[in-house]
Chains A and B, each alone.
Chain A
Amino acid sequence: MANSPAVRVRGLTKRYGDKVAVDAIDLDIPSGQVFALLGPNGAGKTTTVEILEGYRDRDGGEVSVLGEDPQRAGRRWRYGIGIVLQEASDLSELTVLETVRHFARYYPDPRNPAEVIADVGLTEQARSRVRALSGGQRRRLDVAVGIVGNPRLLFLDEPTTGFDPQARRQFWELIRSVVQERGTTVLLTTHYLEEAEALADRIAILVRGKIVADSTPASLGGRAEAKAVVSWSDNGEERSLESDDPGAVIADLTARYGGTVPGLKVTRPSLEDVYLKLIGSEGP
């Protein structure tokens, strides 16, 4: 059970009229991993996730989520699934506590609502009406509703869109803490590269309905194999060298300068460079 993938997708295709939104993609998400589906707006991320969540029907391909086809799965399948919606403005007149308590009732083995509220940092707002929450607090509540059923698989669809950088970092902390503790599998979609890098064990990049890369953040787009650039300053003049073995270059330089190399820097292509290249190569 632990080793069977939480999500397995083969040749998933979805069309809207003539437009192919998702074009024969394959995905494997092992249990316990945080998987990020990264891509520009309109790449097909939400369509893909909504098919896996059972919200939309696919036009082709095979999909297995927690061992079942979301298009046919019943109520019990949903016990294992938690969904954090991309945008929701419902529940406004209820309090945070009423909301989380109510959603806990839908599950046979829910978590303690008060504890979930504490986990997402809303204890002080537990008796506030949902309409009085700030945008960030509102998303925390959405997470609370998503995890109160004790899901094995959590979907987060563009969870931090519209957040300021500080709120975004706090939200990442929250996701890390609620996920790591329980080994929950997470499928995250985002158009923020930083977010994928901060949270994910594995990243797939979706561009115009196709997966253009799928690997760990460190090796995405051949990043691990790319040459490193060693740069330093030689009497105020910037020097640099590309190398497969930056360690040797540095040892060399250290010997040459008899100790500290002035202004030494080693860089690899940043994830952003790789990402821009990947989406650029498919660009218009």
Chain B
Amino acid sequence: MSTVDSPRQPAPLKDPSATVLGLHRGVLELKSFFREWDQVVFTFALPIVLLALLGSLFQGVYEGSTVTAAQYLVPSMIAAGVASATFVNLGIGIGLDRDDGTLKRLRGTPMPRSAYFLGKVVMVLVISIAEVVGILALGVLLFDVTLPTDATRWVTFSWVFLLGVVACSFLGIAASSLARTGRSVSAVMNLPYVVLAFVSGIFYTPVSALPEPLARLGAVFPLKWMAQGFRSVFLPDTILPQEIVSTSWEHGRTALVLGAWCVGGLILCLATFRWRGRRER
């Protein structure tokens, strides 16, 4: 009550910190995300449901290895899940923020702009981690996936995850500017996502079965490299003949491509991000 009764103080008070505000925004974003049923179903649950379905449909063990079709699918689906939680989620979320007045409202407040992006980062990280945990739990329970005990594999997992999250997030933020209205943003984001998932060998397994032009197209984008990186973590090396590469997991090249997309994605974001909607010029 004292804040209300005290006289106005013209002297500059302490500015609220951008980091603290960003964390608060992250909590708010997460609350909004998990309360919105559409978003949870399409962005969060879909990869898990697809894994359950495809994993139950695909049969057989890959030649020369002990890996079942379902086990092969698990790390690939982690990549697709991370892309969904980052690229699709941010693209749709920011597109809607632009359309429904969120960005306009925030621009009219003293919120530091970095707090908005920090909030999105917090949201995306939490959802991505939850996605990975969900997919791995399903893999362990239904498809006898064994988690690696080797620390170097988890190191690989960490950097593939982080680079993948960053690259796909930047691309999602940049792509959010493509949609004209909030209603079209979901379609605009999902089409490239589904196409990329196909040409990256997520749904069509193993990846070496892809026709070469499609595989080449997939190799341009981050998703293929994330999936390959995650397979290198969770699958034994005996599966390598089923990969497009057959001698090593190409970690160096994976890091290079993902790193390049992080930089390129950031540049795209900076060049295309708009605080204003198209109706507001």
Query: Which residues of A are interface residues toward B (Cβ below 8 A)?
Result: 1, 16, 53-55, 75-76, 78-79, 81, 83, 85, 87-94, 98, 102-103, 105-112, 115, 129, 145, 149-150, 152
Contact = CB atoms under 8 A, between A and B. Distances in A.
A106 B108 CA distance: 11
Interface in B84-128: 97, 100-102, 104-105, 107-112
B93 to A, nearest CB: 12
A88 B277 CA distance: 13
Nearest to B97: A90
B253 interface: no
Nearest to B113: A75
Given A88-B104, A91-B102, A111-B3, 14 more contacts: A16-B281, A55-B104, A55-B280, A75-B15, A78-B109, A78-B110, A90-B102, A93-B36, A102-B25, A108-B13, A108-B14, A111-B4, A112-B3, A149-B109
Contact of B108 (A85, A94, A98, A150): A85
B16 interface: yes
B204 to A, nearest CB: 36
B238 interface: no
A143 to B, nearest CB: 13
**Which 6 A/B pairs are nearest by Cβ-Cβ distance?**
A108-B13, A88-B101, A78-B110, A90-B102, A83-B108, A93-B35
Given A90-B97, A90-B101, A78 B108 contact: yes
Contacts of A129: 35
B219 interface: no
A128 B115 CA distance: 26
Contacts of B35: 93, 129
Nearest to B6: A109
Contact of B28 (A83, A102, A152): A102
Given A112-B4, A150-B8, A107 B16 contact: yes
Contacts of A16: 281
Interface string B240-281: 000000000000000000000000000000000000000011
A76 B16 contact: no
B211 interface: no
A144 to B, nearest CB: 13
B8 to A, nearest CB: 7
Nearest to A99: B28
B21 interface: yes
Q: Is the interface of A mostly helix, strand, loop or mixed?
A: loop
Q: Is the interface of B mostly helix, strand, loop or mixed?
A: loop
Contact of A55 (B25, B107, B112): B107
A87 B281 CA distance: 16
Nearest to B33: A93
Contacts of A1: 10
Contacts of A91: 102
A208 B101 CA distance: 27
Contacts of A94: 28, 31-32
A119 B14 CA distance: 26
18 contacts: A55-B108, A76-B110, A79-B110, A81-B108, A85-B104, A85-B108, A88-B104, A90-B97, A90-B102, A93-B36, A102-B24, A107-B110, A108-B14, A115-B1, A115-B4, A129-B35, A150-B8, A152-B8
B60 interface: no
A76 B15 contact: yes
Contacts of A55: 104, 107-108, 280
Contacts of B12: 76, 108
Contacts of A108: 12-16
Given A75-B110, A112-B4, A149-B109, A105 B16 contact: yes
Contact of A85 (B3, B31, B97, B105): B105
Given A98-B31, A105-B16, A112-B1, A75 B104 contact: no
B32 A93 contact: yes
B9 interface: yes
Contacts of B31: 93-94, 98
Interface string B18-50: 001100110010011001100000000000000
Interface centre among B20, B36, B101 (most CB of A within 10 A): B101
